[in-house]
Amino acid sequence: MSSFSIFVNLLLTVKSILIGLVIILIYLKHIDKPNANIEMCKDITEFIFKFLMALLLIYVFNPNNSKLNLIDKRICTVLFMFGFIVIILDEKWELFLNHIKTLLNYIRFR
């Protein structure tokens, strides 16, 4: 199995986990029992999914990649830059790092 296939499978797994967490949160909100830990796990999983998607865009639409015959170089450059913009500007880095810190403290003192 190639590293690209492993990466895509990882991406699909993270997306499946994210969908499961969203369904659980919707159910818990419906029965009026919100759970902060599950909300935090959803936020972390969503961050990881967006980050992996941005990396996939960067890899697939890299303007230096000569394997893409159907995609115009201009479109390739725009999508390549979109991947960088999503990673650098759009991600909620502070929220992610605070959740990771909280999760590590929770695991450490358990």
Does the structure show a pLDDT above 70 at 89? no
Q: Which of 2, 15, 89 is nearest to 52 (CA)?
A: 15
pTM comes to: 0.67
Give the three-class secondary structure for 63: coil
Structure confidence at residue 75 (pLDDT): 61
pLDDT value of residue 36: 85
Cα gap 93→89, rounded to integer Å: 9
Q: How far apart are CA 88 and CA 82, in angstroms?
A: 10
Q: Over pLDDT 90: what percentage of the chain? A: 4
Give the residue-averaged pLDDT of 37-47. Answer: 88
